[in-house]
Chain A
Amino acid sequence: MTALFDVGLQPERTALAWRRTALAFVVVSAAALRILPGRLGVSGLAAAILAVLLCAALVTSVHKRYRWHQRQLSIARGVAASGLPLAAASALAVLLALLAGAGALAEAFA
């Protein structure tokens, strides 16, 4: 054990940042579920459902990641967590934006 742990509640702040982000994802995905089926039909519905499921996966992974960070900061040479959830969050955000773009274009040229 070293004095490294609990300097500035780092794992907590990071977990809260994940929660805020997950919340934003949930809001945007809910909007996608509401708007996309009307504009892109069945494929829009399927994509929106996919986005909601990915959101649920994101929300459930937050706590696991928090425990990892907490454990790592309690030992002298903590090891950073995998970047996989970050890549997943990026991909989900890009997917939602592309869907919104497709929906907007479908509306503009309707």
Chain B
Amino acid sequence: MTDALARSETTADRQGERRFPSSVFGRGSEPDARFSLANERTFLAWIRMGLGLLAGGVALEALGLGLHPVLRTIASLILIAAAVLVPIQAWAGWMRAERALRLGRPLPAPVSALPLAIVLGIVAAVVVLAVALP
């Protein structure tokens, strides 16, 4: 068991030179590849979330929906700002989770879910106001 672990760690070290980023792959031992794949899909879901936010922000600006112009711009800029931050968080979250998998630690908590929910609530409120105000 110890031998197997040691061997897998040297393999990981050697692979760590080739795989990016080495801050993730240079440490720990190789987890079940299915967990890495699930982590990758979670990352991709966050990326699509970011692209969705971006599409929403651009649509508010570009579609000429007859909304209150100032509130519309505010809602649009909040969505686009979130679309800048979400992919960065997606990458950081993927690295955190992959590192935890490799070191056999508990997975990190989904820290970005609540802030995003709050931001989306604020955007929804602003859009409702933008529809209601003349």
Q: Which residue of B lies closest to A80 (CB)?
A: B36
Contact residue among A25, A78, A83, A100 (Cβ-Cβ distance under 8 Å from B80): A100
CB of A69 within 8 A of CB of B18, answer no
**How many residue-residue contacts, CB under 8 A, span A and B?**
138
The answer to whether A87 and B21 touch (CB under 8 A), given A28-B51, A77-B11, is: yes
Interface assignment of B55: CB less than 8 Å from any CB of chain A? yes
Residues of B within 8 A of A11 (CB): 37
Category for how many chain B residues contact A: 35 or more
Residues of A within 8 A of B80 (CB): 97, 100-101, 104
CB of A98 within 8 A of CB of B91, answer no
CB of B83 within 8 A of CB of A8, answer no
**What sequence of 0s and 1s flags, for each residue 60-95 of chain A, a beta carbon within 8 Å of any chain B beta carbon?**
000000000100110001111111101101110110
Interface residues of B (CB under 8 A from A): 8, 11, 15, 18-21, 24-25, 30-34, 36-38, 40-41, 43-45, 47-48, 50-52, 54-55, 57-58, 61-62, 73, 76-77, 80-81, 83-84, 86-88, 90-91, 94-95, 98
Q: Which residue of B lies closest to A78 (CB)?
A: B33
Q: Which residue of A lies closest to B39 (CB)?
A: A80
Residues of B within 8 A of A43 (CB): none
Contact residue among B25, B33, B91 (Cβ-Cβ distance under 8 Å from A73): B33
